[in-house]
């Protein structure tokens, strides 16, 4: 069992991971500034500290007080359109904040870090599925902030001669909720398609907007690789085991290796919810790639990762049932 710090552990993915770690018997400390996270999402058996990773002294003191052995780093701003409107805010939080955290880890003798990266580092990939060695040309500050942090980890870890190691997990489209109904995505200002569809099915949103239906895909709408949040959680735990076993620094895609169009997701959500919610096609959003699907061979090879929820209807159904609990 390990003493683990989870940054951003009151947020969607961080809280799911923190709960799984607690259930596995680890000692978990969650740090979150509650900008978008919920205090109620922090597991009862985890210790909680409200604060910001930008405060390096605060983080250093926390690491040393709790004798932390490993860090799972989720704390970040993650809304792409917002990053375009407020790039300085994203660089300050995602890049400078991450550098402060990494430096605090190095100063405190932390040996392991798992970083929440993103498929946004690839920008507009030339081919799909996209592999880890593809050209990385982010097209928004959010993606750039993740790539800069990956570069920082690579160079700072290399300078320690193996004393500090990391795994960067590049998420594709995360969705869904725990099957037991304990946790799900709770943010009211949803931007992700499945969450937006859930709100429309629960009648808390007037309609679902499709941003363009003239892409070079079978039905004209964008294709994405959707991964269930619980499979993403298992990838993080597998990454910790990999580092425990002496694994080297690596960046890995987190996806299922196949994609679904916006129209297919909308149809699936209507089927599982039995609600014919309103859908409106509007103009394209700037920077949306027609297709973004993971080549997931390496994560299976390096982490022996085996997804359990690779089924769009399972993802949609769990997300919809969670959304219903929020409305009760």
Residues recognised as catalytic: 142
DSSP designation for 119 = G
CA nearest neighbour of 189 among 79, 43, 105: 79
CA distance 160 to 111: 10
What count of Cα atoms within 13 Å lies in the side-chain half-sphere of residue 11?
A: 20
CA nearest neighbour of 20 among 208, 170, 241, 207: 241
CA nearest neighbour of 59 among 21, 2, 8: 8
Q: Quick one: residue 174, left, alpha or beta (phi over 0 = left, psi -120 to 50 = alpha)? A: beta
By the 8 A CB rule, do 171 and 165 touch? Answer: no
Burial of residue 202 (CB within 10 Å: 0-12, 13-18, 19+) is middle
CA distance 239 to 235: 6
SS3 at position 175: strand
CA nearest neighbour of 71 among 117, 20, 24, 112: 112
Neighbours of 8 (CB within 10 A): 26
By the 8 A CB rule, do 17 and 34 touch? Answer: no
CA dihedral over 63, 68, 70, 72, signed as positive or negative: negative
Length, in residues, of the chain: 328
Neighbours of 261 (CB within 10 A): 21
């Amino acid at each position: 069992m390990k003493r683990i710090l989870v940054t951003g552990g009151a947020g969607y993915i961080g809280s799911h991971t923190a709960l799984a770690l607690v259930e596995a018997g680890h000692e978990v400390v969650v740090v979150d500034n509650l900008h978008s996270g919920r205090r109620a999402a922090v597991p009862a058996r985890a210790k909680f500290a409200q604060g910001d990773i930008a405060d390096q002294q605060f983080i250093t003191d926390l690491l040393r007080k709790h004798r932390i052995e490993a860090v799972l780093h989720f704390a970040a701003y993650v809304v792409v359109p917002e990053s375009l409107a407020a790039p300085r805010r994203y660089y300050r939080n995602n890049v400078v904040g991450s550098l402060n955290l990494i430096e605090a880890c190095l100063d405190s003798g932390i040996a392991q870090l798992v970083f929440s990266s993103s498929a946004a580092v690839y920008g507009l990939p030339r081919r799909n599925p996209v592999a880890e060695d593809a050209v990385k040309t982010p097209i928004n500050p959010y993606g750039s902030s993740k790539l800069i942090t990956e570069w920082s980890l690579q160079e700072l870890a290399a300078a320690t001669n193996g004393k500090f190691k990391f795994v960067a997990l590049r998420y594709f489209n995360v969705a869904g909720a725990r099957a037991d109904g304990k946790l799900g995505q709770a943010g009211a200002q949803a931007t992700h398609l499945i969450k937006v569809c859930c709100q429309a099915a629960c009648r808390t949103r007037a309609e679902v907007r499709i941003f363009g239906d003239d892409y070079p895909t079978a039905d004209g709408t964008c294709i994405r690789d959707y991964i269930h949040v619980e499979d993403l959680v298992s990838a993080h735990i597998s990454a910790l085991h990999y580092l425990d076993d002496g694994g080297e620094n690596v960046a890995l895609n987190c996806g299922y290796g196949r994609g679904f169009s916006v129209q297919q997701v909308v149809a699936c959500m209507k089927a599982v919810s039995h609600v014919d919610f309103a859908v409106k096609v509007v103009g394209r959003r700037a920077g949306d790639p027609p297709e973004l699907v993971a080549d997931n061979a390496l994560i299976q090879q390096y982490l022996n990762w085996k997804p359990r929820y690779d089924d769009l209807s399972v993802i949609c159904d769990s997300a919809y049932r969670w959304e219903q609990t929020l409305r009760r």
